[in-house]
Amino acid sequence: MLVPSLSCIPPSLPPSRSTGAWCAAEQRVRHRQPPPPPSLPLHAEISREEEKASPQRRGTAGGEGPAAGERAALGQGVMELRHRRRMLKGQLPAPLLLLLALAWLWLPAEGRRPPRPPPCPPSCSCTRDTAFCVDSKAVPRNLPPEVISLTMVNAAFTEIREAAFAHIPSLQFLLLNSNKFTLIGDNAFAGLSHLQYLFIENNDIQALSKATFRGLKSLTHLSLANNNLQTLPRDLFKPLDILSDLDLRGNTLACDCKIKWLVEWLESTNTTVPAVFCSSPGQFEGQRIRDLALGDFQCITTDFVVHQVLPFQSVSAEPFTYASDLYVALAQPSASSCTVLKWDYVERKLRDFDRIPAHSAVHCKPIVAQNQLYVVVAQLFGGSYIYRWDTAVDKFIKIQDIDSQKTRKPNDIEAFQIEGDWYFVIADSSKAGSTSLYRLNQNGFYSHQALHAWHRDTDVEYVENDGKPRLIISSSSQAPVIYQWSRAQKQFVLQGEVGEMLDVQMVKHFRVKRDQFLCLSRYIGDSKVVRWEGQRFIELQTLPSRGSMVMQPFLVEQRQYLALGSDFSFTHIYLWEEEKQKFVKFQELSVQAPRAFHYVPAADVQLLLAPSFKANTLVYRHVVVDLSL
């Protein structure tokens, strides 16, 4: 007789009479033994033995009966069978009765029924420790509590949310294949601290979160193959401390700045990663990501962000430094003043400092000369004046009038120093006025030279080209003209003009290495960028600029920018590309009717002032952006 072994009992069933039968059958199949013959009831066995032992029943007359020894043996057998029957009638030993009672208590009420299968959702097939699910509409909830392996195929939901598998904490193997989800969110696998194998394959995942794999401390094998992934969040694999194998094949990874971190990670990791190739951009297409160098990525760019809003309109902004402090003078015709603001290095903002009354100010030009601070206030009506900062009373005091016969309708002011002397020039836009040059002496600024009369000048630009001081004066009636400083005469003399450019509103210059360039803005028509070569002006670029009153180049560290304002659309910021010898569009700024742009370095902050004729004056901050972060 075979004795059931506990090792063959299914873990889902307790050892019982039914499980013993299951094990005995399993052993018989394993050892190929025939089943035992059916046994007779005990009382039938006794009757049969008695019949054998009775001589009358055998018919002794004329027949041969058993010998006396055989009869004695048969009688002994009958006695043993009767003893067994008495034992079964209640004369069993006490220890055996106790064992039978305990076995009966252990046996469940439904012990004679077939064992129940483990819990399993309708879309899944389950064993005690595995589940295979097809066409599930969500992550299955009622799985066997001890499941360690889960496979999901063709799932109908589109997103794996946070802690989606936390109700199956014993998972060690998870396969997600050919499903419809496109997004895997933060902490999607939270709670799976025992998970070792994670295969996410043949899906159409559009995005992975940076924290997708957070909490997978035991993960050793990860496959993201064939998911059409174009990028991977920075430090995606950082939480996977013991990851030994990673498969990224079959994805369309774009080798741009967002993938630069992966190149760095592949250089330092001990994880085994089969070859992964770039799908774009063109210069990297088909290359192994592991073969790319960090220098191949140009990921540093810049941006202009609003730093401060000044709640007033203005038409000019002039930064200056006085007594080691940074200031800005702004002309506010609507407020009838020149407002002077001071930079707060602690709060990193511009704050009110002082105001100069000016009923129709169009320009407020600060000049720091001979340890004195002067401000030239140009007004459309009521004359123009010169103020000086008085340290004794801490205020601006008017010290001088500007000749109203020469300066009738001022439009722009430039200040500069030649051979140790300070000058400023006012461009006059009236028919009867003239652009005039003033020189500083011990008693103040005095008229030094009349320039370009009767031409309705709109702008003047001071340029030093080849070591020679020059003035470029723009006019609404003719092409911009160039004056050059004569050391012998101590005056500017007419040199020529920037040919074939009429109706130029403003001329500004910038230098790249040894080359000198001019930016010529026009209110009607296109603005232009030209290279200045001796007596020639070579046109490099034409920029659409309808409604433009300002075109200002400025240099921030090694980047050459150009701000092109407009009264009808956004301000466009351009960035100079040396190889192409042209400006390319970089950014749009929402400045209404700008009248000037000025770059201001303020300690560790780079500012761009944007005065507006119709809205608030804006202060932008220049920031450096690393696209790989």
Q: pLDDT of 366-406, one tens digit each?
A: 999 999 999 999 999 989 999 999 999 999 999 999 988 88
Per-residue buried b or exposed e for 131-162, using 16+ beta carbons within 10 Å of the residue's own CB: bbbeebeebbeebbeebbbbbbbebeeeebee
Looking from the CA of 125 toward its CB, the CA atoms found within 13 Å total 3
Which pLDDT band, with edges at 50, 70 and 90, does 18 fall under? very low
Name residues whose C-beta falls within 8 Å of residue 241's C-beta, 6 or more positions apart in sequence. Answer: 217
Please count the helices (runs of H) and the strands (runs of E) in the chain: 6, 38
C-alpha distances (whole Å) from 407 to each of 77, 263, 447, 530, 583 are: 148, 65, 11, 31, 37
d(CA 195, CA 152): 15
pLDDT by residue (tens digit) across 129-150? 999 999 999 999 989 888 999 9
Q: Tell whether the model's pLDDT for residue 109 goes beyond 80.
A: no
In this prediction, residue 422 carries a pLDDT of: 97
Instruction: Identify whether the C-beta of residue 98 lies closer than 8 Å to the C-beta of residue 117.
Output: no
- Three-class DSSP category at 38: coil
Tell me if the bond preceding 281 is cis, omega within 30° of 0: yes
d(CA 198, CA 175): 6
Q: Tell whether the model's pLDDT for residue 522 goes beyond 80.
A: yes
Nearest to 374 by CA among 358, 350, 356, 362: 356
In this prediction, residue 50 carries a pLDDT of: 46
Q: Which residue has the higher pLDDT, 362 or 51?
A: 362
Which pLDDT band, with edges at 50, 70 and 90, does 362 fall under? very high
What residue ranges do the domains of the chain occupy? Answer: 121-295, 323-401
In this prediction, residue 164 carries a pLDDT of: 96
Q: Tell whether the model's pLDDT for residue 458 goes beyond 70.
A: yes
Q: Tell whether the model's pLDDT for residue 36 goes beyond 70.
A: no
CB neighbour class for 170 (10 Å; exposed up to 12, middle 13-18, buried from 19) = middle
- What tokens does 172 get? 């060690």
> Quick one: CA torsion of 580, 581, 582, 584, rounded to 10 degrees?
40
In this prediction, residue 534 carries a pLDDT of: 87
pLDDT by residue (tens digit) across 528-581? 999 999 889 999 999 999 999 999 999 999 999 999 999 999 999 999 999 999
Sequential DSSP letters for 250-295: T---B-SGGGHHHHHHHHH--SB----B--BSGGGTT-BGGG--GG
- Three-class DSSP category at 122: coil
In this prediction, residue 78 carries a pLDDT of: 45
What pTM value is reported for the model?
0.73
Instruction: Identify whether the C-beta of residue 501 lies closer than 8 Å to the C-beta of residue 528.
Output: yes
Q: Among residues of the chain, what percentage have pLDDT more than 90?
A: 72
**Average pLDDT of the segment spanning 317-334:** 97
pLDDT by residue (tens digit) across 156-173? 999 999 999 999 999 999
Fold classification of 121-295 (topology level): 3.80.10
Q: Tell whether the model's pLDDT for residue 70 goes beyond 70.
A: no
Q: Among residues of the chain, what percentage have pLDDT more than 70?
A: 81
Task: Tokens 């040199």: give the residue.
Answer: 495
pLDDT by residue (tens digit) across 114-130? 566 678 999 999 999 99
Q: Which residue has the higher pLDDT, 22 or 237?
A: 237
